[in-house]
């Protein structure tokens, strides 16, 4: 028998303010046609003034805990994956912890840009498997709209705000791919590509947050290769094939990246959860947001095999194979 981290609750939160491509084209030199054709994005949610990453994270975290039927006193660990924290310090997780009402447990942020939630999932899963905690709330939350350059049409049209969360709880497993829970996680980083996707500022360099800068074509080229490779290592590590996967729940960057990755893996498009059209790219929030969508609309069912994969700034990339 081994310990598995079972996903017992999922939740999400999206800001009320929805901005369509047509509305965006009134203040940015772009069109609905260009954005739709190149990215599949039709709209994005944008946080209201005074609405911070922690607010989105708290709502998503509470929804996940409600689905799990978990009271705060049963929670052992809280991780927030974000690139857009409320403050430079302390961690956004500290604010979420105070709001959720569970003082004393470890609460911290993880920063791996669009891969942040997979990094946070791997961290929580390993704490659970080591027996150090029995449960964890793993949140991805972002207000990317706050550090976009709204004069750079090649990047500002791609992103949105939102949060998603998952409750993990320890359970006994047999050590096979038939177990429920996180079956494996796979993390990668290659800092040689630091400047292809970055914020051009920070505490130690400019004393500002900087704005998002991206060499889109290079990101695209690396994403398609790295996503396929990390998806393969996830199925290989568990002795399953892509045909066994019920749902691909990918990071939502761009529908062309989603389509070409699914095609490379031989996964049919109707087995891919897609939210990029409605949410745009919400970085660390995008996988748990997509997971929540699939679970709440009834497509993802308990016992099904989910393949998650992601790629982001750093570069960072990774995957997780999960039996829901």
Q: How far is the CB of 48 from ligand ACO (least distance, A)?
A: 24
In residues, how long is the chain? 324
Q: Quick one: which of 38, 134, 264, 299 contacts ligand ACO (CB under 6 A)? A: 38
Q: How far is the CB of 33 from ligand ACO (least distance, A)?
A: 9
Catalytic residue, chosen from 21, 55, 114, 279, is: 114
Q: Quick one: which of 220, 246, 259, 299 contacts ligand ACO (CB under 6 A)? A: 220
Output the six-digit token pair for 30: 């772009």
Output the six-digit token pair for 164: 């998603």
Q: Per CB under 6 A, does 83 bind ligand ACO?
A: no
Q: How far is the CB of 41 from ligand ACO (least distance, A)?
A: 9
Do 185 and 121 contact (CB within 8 A), yes or no?
yes
CA atoms within 13 A on the CB side of 309: 23
Which stretch, 123-131, 232-240, 248-256, 300-308, contacts ligand ACO (CB under 6 A)?
248-256
Nearer to ligand ACO, 89 or 150 (CB): 150
Q: What Å distances lie between residue 29 and 22, 138, 183, 213, 238, CA to CA?
A: 11, 37, 45, 18, 47
Selection from 239, 261, 237 nearest residue 249 by Cα: 261
Q: Which secondary-structure segment (H or E) carries 188?
A: strand 181-189
Q: Per CB under 6 A, does 153 bind ligand ACO?
A: yes
**Residue number of the CB atom closest to ligand ACO:** 216
Q: Quick one: which of 91, 223, 265, 305 contacts ligand ACO (CB under 6 A)? A: 223
Which stretch, 4-12, 176-184, 212-220, 271-279, contacts ligand ACO (CB under 6 A)?
212-220
- Would residue 281 show up in a list of annotated catalytic residues for this protein? yes
Selection from 214, 187, 220 nearest residue 199 by Cα: 214
Among positions 262-291, residues that touch ligand ACO (CB under 6 A) are 281
Q: Per CB under 6 A, does 311 bind ligand ACO?
A: yes
Q: Which secondary-structure segment (H or E) carries 288?
A: helix 286-296
Which stretch, 6-14, 42-50, 125-133, 149-157, contacts ligand ACO (CB under 6 A)?
149-157
Q: Per CB under 6 A, does 197 bind ligand ACO?
A: yes
Which stretch, 34-42, 79-87, 94-102, 116-124, contacts ligand ACO (CB under 6 A)?
34-42
Phi, psi of 317 (to 5 degrees): -160, 165
Nearer to ligand ACO, 136 or 199 (CB): 199
Output the six-digit token pair for 248: 């691909």
Phi, psi of 174 (to 5 degrees): -90, -10
Q: What Å distances lie between residue 28 and 35, 154, 281, CA to CA?
A: 12, 10, 18
| Beta strand extents in 14-134 (DSSP E only) | 18-20, 43-45, 78-81, 107-110
Contacting residues toward ligand ACO, per CB under 6 A: 30, 34-35, 38-39, 114, 153-154, 157-158, 197, 214, 216-217, 219-220, 223, 251, 253-254, 281, 311-312
* Residues annotated as part of the active site: 114, 251, 281
């Amino acid at each position: 028998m081994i310990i598995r981290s079972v996903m017992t609750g999922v939740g999400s939160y999206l800001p009320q303010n929805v901005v369509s491509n047509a509305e965006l084209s009134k203040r940015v030199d772009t069109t609905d046609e260009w954005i739709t054709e190149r990215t599949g994005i039709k709209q994005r949610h944008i946080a209201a003034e005074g609405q911070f990453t922690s607010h989105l994270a708290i709502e998503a975290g509470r929804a996940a805990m409600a689905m799990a039927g978990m009271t705060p006193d049963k929670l052992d660990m809280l991780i927030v994956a974000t690139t857009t924290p409320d403050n430079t310090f302390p961690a956004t997780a500290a604010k979420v912890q105070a709001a959720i009402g569970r003082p004393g447990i470890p609460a911290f942020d993880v920063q791996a840009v669009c891969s942040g939630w997979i990094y946070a999932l791997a961290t929580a899963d390993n704490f659970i498997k080591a027996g150090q905690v029995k449960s964890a709330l793993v949140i991805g939350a972002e207000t990317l709209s706050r550090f976009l350059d709204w004069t750079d049409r090649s990047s500002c049209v791609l992103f949105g705000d939102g949060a998603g969360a998952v409750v993990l709880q320890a359970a006994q497993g047999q050590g096979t791919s038939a177990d429920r829970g996180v079956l494996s996680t796979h993390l990668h980083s290659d800092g040689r590509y630091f400047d292809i996707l970055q914020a051009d500022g920070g505490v130690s360099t400019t004393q500002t947050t900087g704005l998002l800068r991206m060499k889109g074509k290079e990101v695209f080229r690396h994403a398609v290769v790295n996503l396929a490779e990390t998806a393969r290592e996830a199925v290989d590590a568990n002795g399953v094939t892509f045909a066994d996967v019920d749902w691909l729940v990918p990071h939502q960057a761009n529908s062309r990246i989603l389509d070409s990755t699914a095609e490379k893996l031989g996964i049919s498009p109707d087995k891919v959860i897609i939210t990029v059209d409605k949410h745009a790219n919400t970085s660390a929030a995008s996988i748990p947001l997509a997971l929540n969508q699939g679970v709440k609309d009834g497509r993802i069912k308990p016992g099904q095999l989910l393949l998650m994969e992601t790629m982001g700034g750093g570069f960072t990339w990774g995957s997780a194979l999960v039996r829901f």
